[in-house]
Structure 1
């Protein structure tokens, strides 16, 4: 499918076009009369809708569903601007009047931001904690901005519902801005379109601030220009050659973790109540709005962060528990676990729970030449393959472990017989692919069993199996049956 523009195309034409269209639109809006300004503004709102439709139509934007949701938000914005054409030009923007237009714009913002969040979800998959912290920081920063910059300058036309909508919009936009900054620091290929999204959010926040500051007396042109910049930078993000990379992280590797910011989360929870208390004491306007809105946004983020920390701790505990009982290289049980299982089996034997305990001790023949010729990575690959084959040969109730180097042990709560040793030797002796080479190793096995009442402890049982294994290894050497290293 044809890409538009091509992914390998330079980005400067997009930058130049965005700049020129923005300057033209801002100039035309500034010099036009009150009847023409709504038309210019409405036409600007259609630009990102058209660019998104074109980019989606030719397949330039990958992962279509979240982009379609974001485009739906843009369509709702354009429809709202067409229906309430005087919302910006007549200076209703920033008055917090709680009109139907305020609901429509807030819903459009949420829809677009939901789509943008879906587009960026892969970038945040390995940094969920960092994104939560960035969002929480944005929400908390919105508190003092609202309390000491915006709320005192609201006009008498402001209503509690309108104030809540403006505050929620500012807080959500601040949270998204923090997340975009966090993501932008960790990406390279998608940095261009993400920068456009950053400009869009920053311009929208700036429009909110200027709209409130100039609501009593001042021109609505600055707010309108900032909003037009926001619309046109959205279009620039869709047109940018690197836009397809937004949905593809540069480094989808290990999760980014760090020290849990408990002090920061505590401060975040206390910030809005403290500001609201100061407002109430001083009798500031909007004292009753910050606490409910700020809490509704901050508390869920803190709870998500605590849940994420709890999950990380649980995963860490499971990992530690796994490493305490398993060999890191092969995934088999380690020596400590195997020894403990032998002790348990012998205790069950003495209590009459089982009738016999068998230990099969194995040592690889011809393993050292593999290490010497192909290196330790090849040796590790051989050990992992042998471990998988041993696990395949063992019965469901057997305990299979690596007890050191190229030595393995199989514990069976019952009689093993010679079939286990012969099956293991057959599986292990099959060729193993190591890069471009094919190698073979053999195995020397020693079996020892103990019946109830024999009075043999774990060391004696392992010693018997060890003696039998070395006897077989000596016989192999004497007959010159050591496996030959073959190259495929």
Structure 2
């Protein structure tokens, strides 16, 4: 662990202690206060995240300001809605599915805030789209049983179809966001602190919906109000956390998540809500009619996105396999299989009269083994990649350049000019090559062979001619070096 990481962890403890202390004091003050002071206390708590977000943005502690601003706008709308409809919680309207203007306004504020939160976390999820979609699907599927077994049976005649749709959609979105936050928190270890506060916010909000419906018959909203106050205070703590800047700007890129596609899970996700709705309808439960359209409206697009993502991954994998089937992994040039196929294709065009001449150049590096022996195989790889880059730069648009062995290369040209080609190759390959702090040189023994229109020549014959010419030049180079040494 770096010193920076240790400092950040220690500096977060005062924030944690402060959140606990403020939460305890706010809850105690609310529970012991009279009706009018309670409204003031709750209003002040709803303003806490607005103040902390504004302060963090004003001081520049939060980079990538746009998503944070969006989240702050959602919080402002939420606070204004809570102030305007101050009895929304205390009069048991939360979770009652009445479809009031307050329900629409607060649901809209939630969506704006969640849109900002998604923007804040988008970089952490950039390499884990599949995992996030699976987590969101899990949340949407969990919302169905919560609605059917915990909320729908407790609804009053005041509930409306619009209100039921809003409550169910709010539950599903909250559960989906909670699943995504947990998924991101497991991977984004350095930003886990502020993300944990976001998880607490979603959890407290979800719990408040449940307690509001569960306690409606008893006339007490204390538990619901305290949970909502905790949700506001935990979201207020997120931008104050020392690691808040790492939420939008990870200090290290995450690795692409891999794994088998969960086809069974996606099938279950598509069937879960219709199955629950069918059971409820068979029982004559009138509240079941909202589950199927809302659940499908949220689950089906997520499944379609997951299938699209799987299709994209499959297409990318197929393109990668196709590339590796025809290219050398180290240099990126064509491999032996592709070069051989291109030679056959060029000779067939020559035989049909579509080409006037075919030129083949085989190249073997001189002095490559000493580079490997003296500087290591990594240096040898650097040399091979640089030679490959130079050959590709020399080649024309119709030429095929490949690596067919350890330090053996080939250039296939659909035309003539073998002397010019061999000269340019020897000149370019012989230039110095930087290897770390050193500079090395390698030579090139090149052999060329040509086949003209009307000449009966097959692939093995053409390669054999170029190979013989290459080894003759290599022998000449050895004799020249021996004379120079003598």
Distance in 2 of aligned mates of 1:176 and 1:483: 75
Shift of 1:265: 0.7
Shift of 1:249: 3.2
Check conservation: 1:154, 1:215, Cα contact below 8 A.
no
Distance in 2 of aligned mates of 1:57 and 1:440: 58
Gaps of 5+ in 2: 1-6
Check conservation: 2:124, 2:254, Cα contact below 8 A.
no
Aligned positions of 1:218-229 closer than 5 A: 218-229=219-230
Distance in 2 of aligned mates of 1:50 and 1:329: 55
> Where does residue 39 of structure 1 map in the other structure?
40
What secondary structure is seen at the aligned counterpart in 1 of 2:88? helix
> Where does residue 303 of structure 2 map in the other structure?
302
Check conservation: 1:365, 1:443, Cα contact below 8 A.
yes
Distance in 2 of aligned mates of 1:193 and 1:279: 40
> Where does residue 73 of structure 1 map in the other structure?
74
Aligned positions of 1:179-190 closer than 5 A: 179-190=180-191
**Does structure 1 residue 282 correspond to structure 2 residue 313?**
no
What secondary structure is seen at the aligned counterpart in 2 of 1:354? coil
Distance in 1 of aligned mates of 2:9 and 2:64: 19
Moved beyond 4 Å, runs of 4+: 6-9, 481-484
Aligned positions of 1:10-409 closer than 5 A: 10-249=11-250, 251-409=252-410
Check conservation: 1:398, 1:412, Cα contact below 8 A.
yes
Shift of 1:453: 2.1
TM-score (norm 2): 0.96
Check conservation: 2:63, 2:248, Cα contact below 8 A.
yes
Shift of 1:399: 0.3
Deviations 1:129-171 (A, max 9, x none): 0100000000001001100111001122211111111110000
Distance in 2 of aligned mates of 1:249 and 1:308: 23
What secondary structure is seen at the aligned counterpart in 2 of 1:293? helix
What secondary structure is seen at the aligned counterpart in 1 of 2:95? coil
**Does structure 1 residue 419 correspond to structure 2 residue 416?**
no
Gaps of 5+ in 1: 1-5
Check conservation: 1:365, 1:442, Cα contact below 8 A.
yes
> Where does residue 3 of structure 2 map in the other structure?
none
Range that drifts further, 299-308 or 438-447 = 438-447
Check conservation: 1:365, 1:444, Cα contact below 8 A.
yes
Distance in 2 of aligned mates of 1:203 and 1:63: 27
TM-score (norm 1): 0.96
- Paired positions, count: 479
Distance in 2 of aligned mates of 1:103 and 1:439: 72
Check conservation: 1:441, 1:483, Cα contact below 8 A.
no
Distance in 1 of aligned mates of 2:286 and 2:223: 25
Check conservation: 1:442, 1:482, Cα contact below 8 A.
no
Distance in 1 of aligned mates of 2:328 and 2:399: 16
Distance in 2 of aligned mates of 1:416 and 1:252: 49
Distance 1:408 1:254, change over 3 A: farther
Point out the structure with the larger helix share: 2
Distance in 1 of aligned mates of 2:157 and 2:44: 32
Distance in 1 of aligned mates of 2:484 and 2:72: 66
Shift of 1:253: 4.7
Distance in 2 of aligned mates of 1:154 and 1:253: 44
RMSD of aligned Cα (Å): 1.6
Distance in 1 of aligned mates of 2:80 and 2:432: 69
Shift of 1:90: 2.1
> Where does residue 3 of structure 1 map in the other structure?
none
Distance in 1 of aligned mates of 2:338 and 2:13: 62
> Where does residue 455 of structure 1 map in the other structure?
456
What secondary structure is seen at the aligned counterpart in 1 of 2:113? helix
Distance in 1 of aligned mates of 2:254 and 2:232: 34
Distance in 2 of aligned mates of 1:308 and 1:257: 12
Shift of 1:94: 2.0
Deviations 1:422-476 (A, max 9, x none): 1111211111111111111111100100112221111110111111111111111
